[in-house]
Amino acid sequence: MLIRRPSDISPSEITPRRCYEGRREFIKLAAAGSVLGAAGLFARGAAAQEKTLGLQKLASVAKSALSTGEPPTAYKHVTSYNNYYEFGTEKDDPARYASRLKLRPWTVAVEGEVMKPRSFGIEELLKFPLEERVYRLRCVEAWSMVIPWIGFEFNRLARLVEPTSKAKFVEFVTALQPETMPGVRLPVLDWPYVEGLRIDEAMHPLTILCVGLYGEVLPNQNGAPVRLVVPWKYGFKSAKSIVRIRFVERQPKIAWEKANPSEYGFYSNVNPNVDHPRWSQSRERRIPDFFARRPTVIFNGYGERVAGLYAGMDLKKLY
Amino acid sequence: MQPSPKTIAALKAAVFALALVPLGELAAGALFFPDWLGANPGEFIDRATGRWTLRLLLITLCVTPLRAITGWNWLLRFRRMLGLFTFFYGVMHLSSYVTFRRVFDAEEIARDIVERPFMTVGFAALVLMIPLAATSTNAMVRRVGARRWQMLHRLVYLIAPLGVLHYWFMVKRDITQPAIYAAILAVLLGYRIVAGLAAAPSARKVSTGQTV
C-alpha cells in the first residue's frame, strides 16, 4: 500500500531555477564585495594616520624647509612603539605606564658655562616660535619612522643664556621620578638618563627642542613635555623629558656609553658602515614594514648638512 | 594512573592543536589583523617564534622529570611530538630572520653567523636539532639502535643551554626574561644531575651482577 506523505520541502523553500543558476554571479559579486571591503580597510588605515590622542593642540606652527617629504609614520605606531626605559624595556611599556609621568610644574634649568644661567618653565618653552619638522628617526635597533615633530632650534634657547668659550659640550639630564617610573627600580641604566652633544652639534639648525608631534603636545611616551631631536643620530641620542641642560667643558658620559662602551659611543651618528657588534646597521625596517629592506643612509640622509661637523674624524673609531 | 589508548590519542590531538595556536595567531595577525603584531611585525614574529622554540624546548625537558616524579610513564608518549614542535618553531624562527630581517641576503646572513656570537650559538642550536628530528621516527630508532639513539638525543643537553645563551646574548640591557628561561633550564638539568647521582650506586650494583 502506498502511503502518501506530504513532502518535507514546501514549494516556497525551493530555490527558483533562475536564482540557483545565477549562483556563480552571486559568488563573483560576493568576492568583489569582499575585495572592496578590504580596500575600504586600507583606506581607513590611511585615514587613521590623522587620528591622534586628542591632546592639547599647538597653535601657529610654521612649516619648515628642513622637513622631509616622506609620508609620516602612523600616529598609532609613533605612540605605541617606544623606547623609554624609565617606564620599562618592552616597546609597549611606555604607552602603558607613561601616563603616570608628572608633567606640572616642569622647569628646565639651563646652567654651566653660560653668562646668564636661568630656568625655563614649560609654559615659556611653549611660547618659542614653533615649527613643524618632519624628520626621519633611525633607532640603533635597525628600525625607522618618519615623525612630524614640533619644536624650535636648540640654538635659540642657547643664545638666550650666552654660552662662554669654555662651553665645548652640552649635557642633557632627563627626569627621574621613581614614584611614577616603574623601570627605574632596576639598574638597567644609570639613572637619571643623561645624553650629550658637542656644542657645534647642539647648535646645528637640525637639532631641535621638541614639544609636540602631529600638531599636538608630546604624548608622555614620546618624552613629554620637552625632548631633544637630533635626526642624524641614533634615536637614543634624542633625550626625552629634559629637566636640566648643562653647558660643559668636558665630554659628558652618556647613559648608553656607561652601560656598554663597546656597543654605544658618544657620537652615535647613523652609519651603515659601522655595525653594532651584535647586528648589522646596513638596513632598516621602516615601521610598519615586515621587511628590513630599506638601506640605511649615512647620517640618516642628513649628510649634506652635517657631514662637515665630522671632517677629518675617523667615524669607525669615534662611533 | 594509566589513561586508555583512546584518552591518550585525544590528549595527543589536543597537544598538537595547542602547539599550533601560536603559529595560527601569527599567521592571522600577518594576514588579517595587523594590530595584533604591532608597529614592527617582522620583529614581533622573530621574537614570538624564538620564545616559543625555547618554551617548547623547556616543556619537552619537563617530560622526564614529571614522569619520574609522578610515575606516569605514558607522559613519555608526548615527548617526541613536543620535541618536533620545538624544532618546527626553531625553523620558523630562522625563516623569519632570513625573510624579514635579512631579506634573503646570503652574505649578511653568513657574516651574522660567523661574526656575532649570539647568532653563532643560536644557529648551532638549530643545526644540532636536525639529527634529533631526523631520527625521531620509530623506524629510525630501530635502525640507529636504542642505545646509540639515546646517546645521540643527549645532544639536547647541549642544545638547550645554547638556545638560552642565544636569547641572553641578544638582549640589549634588561636580562630579566632570559634569566627566567635560564633558571627553569637550570632546575630541569639540575634535577637530572641529582637524580643521576642518586641512581648511580644502585646502577653500579646491577652492573656488577650482570651485563645489561
Beta bridge partners of A121: A107
User: Is residue B77 a contact partner of residue B129, using CB atoms and an 8 Å limit?
Assistant: no
For the cut 80, the answer to whether the pLDDT of residue B14 exceeds it is: yes
Q: pLDDT, tens digit, for every residue of A152-207?
A: 999 999 999 999 999 999 999 999 999 999 999 999 999 999 999 999 999 999 99
Higher pLDDT, B128 or A39: B128
Interface test with chain A among B31, B44, B168, B174, by most A beta carbons within 10 Å: B174
How many Cβ pairs within 8 Å bridge chains A and B?
Answer: 67
Predicted confidence at residue A32, as pLDDT, reads: 47
Beta bridge partners of A276: A279
The confidence band for B173, taking pLDDT boundaries of 50, 70 and 90, is confident
- Out of A259, A260, A287, the one facing B40 most closely (by C-beta) is A287
pTM above 0.80, yes or no: yes
Average pLDDT over residues B171-179: 90
Q: pLDDT, tens digit, for every residue of B29-42?
A: 999 999 999 999 99
Beta bridge partners of A163: A114
Distances (CA, A) of B55 to B49, B52, B81, B100, B180: 10, 5, 14, 22, 11
Predicted confidence at residue A38, as pLDDT, reads: 45
Please indicate if any CB of chain B lies within 8 Å of the CB of A295.
no
Please indicate if any CB of chain A lies within 8 Å of the CB of B6.
no
Predicted confidence at residue B176, as pLDDT, reads: 93
Predicted confidence at residue A9, as pLDDT, reads: 58
User: Is residue A288 a contact partner of residue B180, using CB atoms and an 8 Å limit?
Assistant: no
The confidence band for B200, taking pLDDT boundaries of 50, 70 and 90, is confident
CA dihedral sign of residues B133, B138, B143, B145: positive
Q: Which of residues 297-316 of A touch B (CB under 8 A)?
A: none
For A45, which residue in chain B has the nearest alpha carbon? B34
Q: Residue B19 carries which side chain, given as an amino acid letter?
A: A
Predicted confidence at residue A158, as pLDDT, reads: 98
Domains of chain A with bracketed CATH = 12-310 (3.90.420.10)
Per-residue pLDDT of chain A (319 residues; tens, 9 = 90+): 556 665 555 555 555 555 555 555 545 544 544 444 444 444 434 434 457 889 999 999 999 999 999 999 999 999 999 999 999 999 999 999 999 999 999 999 999 999 999 999 999 999 999 999 999 999 999 999 999 999 999 999 999 999 999 999 999 999 999 999 999 999 999 999 999 999 999 999 999 999 999 999 999 999 999 999 999 999 999 999 999 999 999 999 999 999 999 999 999 999 999 999 999 999 999 999 999 999 999 999 999 999 999 999 999 999 9
C-alpha cell at A133: 619638522
For chain B, give the mean pLDDT: 93
Question: Residue B170 in 3-state DSSP?
Answer: helix
The CA-based dihedral angle spanning residues A145, A149, A155, A156, taken in that order and rounded to the nearest 10 degrees? 180
CB-CB neighbours of B84 under 10 Å: 17
Please indicate if any CB of chain B lies within 8 Å of the CB of A190.
no
Q: Which of residues 119-138 of B touch A (CB under 8 A)?
A: none
